[in-house]
Structure 1
């Protein structure tokens, strides 16, 4: 079946993005010790990647609609590999602030990047909120977890890297299971599973064995890896093909911007001492649980519609 290689390709790309996030976060304490700087300085290290990624996603969606998903996907993987090699050989606020300007320009443009008709779909707006919430919570909490592992628990960078293995491996497993139940159930279940994963973080104390990290490090990516592909499927099934690339790109751009905001907001909750980092982790987990419950409720209200290519997009 064609769905198998397609899911494998999208899962691979999705996992690469998550791997990039964890790689940077693991190195944060060492970067701080070597070059100096506090939490706000470390936040920009993570946000530089997320914001740049977000700014290019809309262009990627446009190119996908024009030249085909296969061509742009392979080109993206090639560029990603070359950039990663360059990084290996090396030694935020402006973006969210720019949102108002982007909206103003889009409203006046004769041919906007994001077609106005797309925003008329309740399903699109729900998926936009869902994707924003998932990335906001995930990126923000992973940022604090990296500090918690090394500053509070005293893990070395190598040990922190091993601790993240369940986090990355789970993405590969759950991505292959999505697609059998329609988008609504996986989105609701994924958000609830994600919230439960953050709930287990509240049990972590100032000292914790590695085994105590395995459950949250499996539940969190399991929830995200279940909900996000289902969200993507929901958009693709309800947006005409000529708009699908831009629709997905706009949601992914919002997700990456949300990740940068999550790092900025949750980073303020974590101080520089081990006790402050530990307390910040618990506060971030509680906020994440509340937001993900809202995302689950929004997904439950998602209309089960399927827009055909020949149909005109209209608001319900």
Structure 2
């Protein structure tokens, strides 16, 4: 008799592992490259400008394409777009590791950003499909966000170990086995989302969105070296404002827009986007500024710098799991507000940190920020999943992650312009940089309190 092979049952937990692996290597690459820059410059004999674009090419592509990637996930299915993004990212990582010159490395980093943009919105949509039950979904989102936050914070340490032991190409080549495993797990266990093939592609909207976000990202990235009042930066900001205004006009008149403006009638989407922007503004800016502070003011090595971040990153996963439990029991408003308040307290505490401060005095503000961000991030993702129609999850996730990415880019630009070794005492610069972080965090906290009228209970609110 002929035996029929029964396809293995899909596992939601393995689908969670697949999406987490994708998010982990994407977040890891945000920070892991920073500790390898000196070795890359020596190994490839490239100048400082090219070295800056090794970092910035990834950020530019990632931030510019998130909205379009979310729309593609809604139209073609989240699993298909996630796998495509994971494959592009993995292949680009290998190309980075094999690069023999600046041009190939920068182009490969650009392609990494393209792959990352395709992965992030679709990964959240896949989580929503794999965990339809609200309480299980809240906990899954907390684990997904926790592993990513842990990777983001552990980047300097992981990068330091890999570079010291195996050389700079290792920080890219390590992505290959992770990518292969993640793609296989996705195909085997992640359920696909409904494809809305009838939806037309809004080419005008996508083009304008890419130009707007690219101009904004470029201007903010260049502000660190050129200054905010330079012609280049001001031109980039003006271009972003102008094309952004045209984008809104085009989307308002389009029958099937890339970004349905009706999405912003949803309070949960608005508050989540504002909160995400503020969280990344402070967190990314802090990571950048503290890396300079540790290495230039305290004269730590790259590996010691990574270890200095360890207290903050060690509690991230625990705090994310706690956030999932709190969200499942009390709704998303409580962890969102409490996390933002705790992060604001951490930023304020930076004004008491000096180069001679004890390890504990430095660690406590970092712990407050790490726990606060880790509590808030899962709740903003859960709020979007809970209140957005499934047909728009991809683009809603794209909006949320675009807001977060813009916040991160602006945060690094602002902190970088205030904490510069050649211009000022790093401790004093850190104290000044803490002020906008506190203001932005408290403004977001006010938005949460006033903008979310209910607790965000997963039992009573539903997916309205």
Structure 1 gaps of 5+ residues are: 312-316
| Residues 194, 223 of structure 1: 8 Å contact kept | yes
Return closer, same or farther for 1:127/1:23 CA change in 2, 3 Å cut-off. Answer: same
- Offset of residue 188 of structure 1: 0.5
Aligned partner (choices 26, 29, 34) of residue 20 of structure 1 = 29
Return closer, same or farther for 1:270/1:264 CA change in 2, 3 Å cut-off. Answer: same
Mean CA deviation greater in 28-37 or 117-126: 28-37
Aligned ranges for residues 153-192 of structure 1 at < 5 Å? Answer: 153-180=298-325, 181=327, 182-192=331-341
Aligned partner (choices 384, 387, 398) of residue 238 of structure 1 = 387
- 2:299 matched to 1:149? no
Please give the per-residue CA displacement for 1:240-273, whole angstroms capped at 9, x wherever unaligned.
1111111111111121122112222222112334
Structure-1 residue corresponding to 2:348: 199
Structure-2 residue corresponding to 1:224: 373
| Residues 123, 235 of structure 1: 8 Å contact kept | yes
Number of residue pairs aligned between Structure 1 and Structure 2: 306
- 2:271 matched to 1:262? no
Structure 2 gaps of 5+ residues are: 1-10, 101-217, 220-235
Aligned ranges for residues 29-44 of structure 1 at < 5 Å? Answer: 37=48
Q: Distance in 1 between matches of 2:394 and 2:287?
A: 29
Aligned partner (choices 58, 63, 73) of residue 54 of structure 1 = 63
- Offset of residue 230 of structure 1: 0.5
Structure-2 residue corresponding to 1:287: 436
Aligned ranges for residues 89-108 of structure 1 at < 5 Å? Answer: 89-90=98-99, 92-93=218-219, 94=236, 96-97=240-241, 98-108=243-253
Return closer, same or farther for 1:17/1:190 CA change in 2, 3 Å cut-off. Answer: farther
Q: Distance in 1 between matches of 2:389 and 2:431?
A: 42
Mean CA deviation greater in 169-178 or 48-57: 169-178
Structure-2 residue corresponding to 1:314: none
Structure-1 residue corresponding to 2:74: 65
Structure-1 residue corresponding to 2:266: 121
| Residues 12, 172 of structure 1: 8 Å contact kept | no
Mean CA deviation greater in 150-159 or 231-240: 150-159
- 2:91 matched to 1:82? yes
Instruction: Name the TM-score, length of structure 2 as normaliser.
Output: 0.58
Return the structure number with greater relative CO, CA threshold 8 A, min gap 6.
Answer: 1
- 2:257 matched to 1:112? yes
| Residues 15, 172 of structure 1: 8 Å contact kept | no
Mean CA deviation greater in 188-197 or 2-11: 2-11
Q: Secondary structure at the match of 2:257?
A: coil
Return closer, same or farther for 1:166/1:71 CA change in 2, 3 Å cut-off. Answer: farther
